[in-house]
Chain A
Amino acid sequence: MQYLLNVIHDSAEFATEEEQAAIVVFNQRMKADGYWVFAGGLGVTDNATVVDNRGDEPLVTDGPFVETKEYVVGFWIIEAPDLDVALRLATEGSKACHRKVEVRPFL
C-alpha cells in the first residue's frame, strides 16, 4: 500500500544544512529498507498557478488553490504494509526535516 507523506511548512525559509543532511540519511535508509517510492521538494506557493478547465475556457490564476499560512513544501511517496509503519516513517521523517508531516493513504 502506498502513502503520501506531505511535509508541512509555514515560512519561505529553506531547510538548514543540518536538516538537509538528516533528510539525506533518512532517504537512504528508506531506500535500503524498501519503503522508498519517490520524493521531492516544492517551491513556495507564490510560484503556483491554478488551471481550471472545467468550463468553456481554461481559466489560469496566479497563486495556490487556497491561501493558507501552512503549505506543502515537499513530499515522500512510500510503500508500507500498514498505517503503523507509515506513521513510524513519518515520525522519523518529521524529525529529520524538522517539519510537520501529513500522512495520506492512496486509494
Chain B
Amino acid sequence: MNANEAVARAHREEWARVVATLARRFGDLDVAEEAAAEAFATAVERWPADGVPPNPGAWLTTTAYRKAIDRIRREDKRGDRQREAQMSYEAPPEPVGAVEDERLRLVFVCCHPALAADARVALTLRMVGGLTAAEIARAFLVQESAMARRITRAKTKIKAARIPYRVPDAEDLPARVVGVLTVLFLVFNEGYLATGPDADPVRQDLTAEAIRLARLLRALLPQNGEVAGLLALMLLTEARRAARVSPGGELVALDEQDRTAWDAELVAEGHRLVRERLDSGQAPGRYQLLAAINAVHTSARDFRDTDWSQVVALYDQLVRLDRSPVVTLNRSVALAELDGPAVALASVDRLAGQLDGYHAYHAARAELLRRLDRGRESRAAYDRAIELAGNTAERAALIRRRNGSG
C-alpha cells in the first residue's frame, strides 16, 4: 500500500474517531472538524516523504490535537477567554456503560432531534462520514455555499443551545436510535432512488456511505435489533443494484431483474442478520420487518417462486406498526401476487385520498389495471405516474410500460 492509499484508508477508518476524540476533549465540534481536516492534509503532505506511521490513527489524533491547541492559542491571543475556559475543562469521568466509543456520542449529537432533518443528514455525513461540504452539496444537488451554511448553522446551534455530547440515557436511547436510523435511511434512499431530474438514477456513493455508517452503528450497538434490521435492509437492497438499472438507463422492476446479477455475498450477509434477529425471539421493529420482506424476495430463485403469503404476512405485521398509506400500498402490490389483481386494486383504490400526489400509487394502479385488461384506465394512470416521478430511470421504465400496455 502506498502513502496515498494509506491516507485514503485512514480517512475511511479513522476520520470519525479523530473528530469524536477531539470533540470530546475540546467540547467544540467546529474545532474538532477543522483540526481533523488539517491533520489529514498534513498526512497527505508528510506520509509520502516520511513514510506511513506505524499507528496511523494515533498519529492523526495527536496531530489533530496539536492543530486544535494551535488554533485555540491563536484565538486566545485575540482575547477569547471563553475558549481558554473550555480548554481547561475536563469532563468528569462517566461510569463505564455498555457503550463507550466516542464515535457513538458523535453520531447522537449529529442526529439530535433539536436539529432540522436536513441538517442532521448533512452533519452526519460531514462529521461521521468525513465527506466535505462540497461532496454533500453535490450529493443533494444544492449549492456548496448553502450546504456549508447548513452545517455551520447546525454546529452553532449545538454550541449555543448546549446540545450535550453524550450517548442518551437508557430511557431516551430507543427513540434517539430511531432518529439516527432515520438519518441513515434518508441517505441510503437518496442514493437508492435519487430524486433529482438531473441526478444519476442510482447514487452508489450515497448507498455505500449509508451502509458504511450503518455497519459502524451496528458495531457500536450490536444488541440493537433495529440497527441490525436497517443494515440488513440496506445490504439486501444494495445486493440488487447491478440488476436494477438496464443498460438503457431504465429502472428494472423486481419481476424483470436478472437474479444472477445480484451480489451473493451481500445477500448472504443480509440473510445472516435477518436470521440472527429471528433467533433473538424479540418482536421485530419496522426495519427488521422490511429486511425480512427483502430476505424473502432474495431467497426466491425467480419472481414466481417468491413466497407471497410470507411477504403479505410480514406486511400485515408492518401495517400494525406503521399506519402509513405507503406501507399499505406496498402490501397491496404483494397481495396482487397472492390473491390476484382485482383484490389488490380494491385495496389500492382505498388510498386515493392520501396518495394522489405519489407516483408509486399511480404506477401500482396502472400495473394492476393493465393486468385486468383495463387498458385505457391503465394508460391514464401511467400518465399520472410519469408526470409525478422524479427519478429519471423510473420515468423511463414507466414510459416503456405505458407504451407496452395494450
Binding site for B on A (CB under 8 A): 1, 81-84, 86-87, 103, 105, 107
Contact = CB atoms under 8 A, between A and B. Distances in A.
Given A84-B168, A84-B172, A1 B162 contact: yes
A55 B30 CA distance: 39
Contacts of B172: 84
Q: Is the interface of B mostly helix, strand, loop or mixed?
A: loop
Give chain A's interface secondary structure class.
mixed
Contacts of A81: 162, 164
B372 to A, nearest CB: 49
A105 B162 CA distance: 8
Nearest to A80: B162
Contact of B160 (A84, A86, A87, A105): A105
Contacts of A103: 114, 161
Nearest to B164: A82
B163 interface: yes
Interface in B82-116: 112-114
Nearest to B172: A84
Contacts of B113: 87
Closest 8 CB pairs of A and B: A82-B164, A105-B161, A82-B162, A83-B161, A83-B163, A84-B164, A1-B162, A83-B162
Interface of B: 112-114, 160-164, 168, 172
B166 to A, nearest CB: 8
A87 B168 CA distance: 13
A5 to B, nearest CB: 13
* Best-buried of B113, B161, B164 by chain A (most CB within 10 Å): B161
Contacts of B161: 83, 86, 103, 105
Given A82-B163, A84-B163, 8 more contacts: A82-B162, A84-B168, A87-B113, A87-B114, A103-B114, A105-B161, A105-B162, A107-B160
Nearest to B108: A84
B169 to A, nearest CB: 8
A81 B164 CA distance: 9
A103 B172 CA distance: 19
Nearest to A85: B164
8 contacts: A81-B164, A82-B164, A83-B161, A84-B163, A84-B168, A84-B172, A105-B160, A105-B161
A46 B113 CA distance: 35
Nearest to B162: A82
Contacts of B164: 81-84
A31 B164 CA distance: 23
Contacts of B163: 82-84
A2 to B, nearest CB: 10
B61 to A, nearest CB: 25
- Most central of B113, B162, B163 by chain A CB within 10 Å: B162
B131 to A, nearest CB: 26
Contacts of B112: 83
A107 B160 CA distance: 7
Contacts of A1: 162
Nearest to B169: A84
Nearest to A84: B164
A82 B164 CA distance: 6
A86 to B, nearest CB: 8
Contacts of A86: 161
A82 B163 CA distance: 6
A87 B163 CA distance: 10
A71 to B, nearest CB: 23
A54 to B, nearest CB: 26
Contacts of A83: 112, 114, 161-164
A103 B162 CA distance: 12
A1 B164 CA distance: 12
A6 to B, nearest CB: 14
A86 B112 CA distance: 14
Contacts of B160: 105, 107
A53 B191 CA distance: 55
A82 B161 CA distance: 8
B354 to A, nearest CB: 26
B141 to A, nearest CB: 31
A107 B114 CA distance: 17
Nearest to B171: A88
A64 B113 CA distance: 31
Contacts of B114: 83, 87, 103
A103 B164 CA distance: 15
B159 to A, nearest CB: 10
A87 B164 CA distance: 12
A87 B112 CA distance: 11
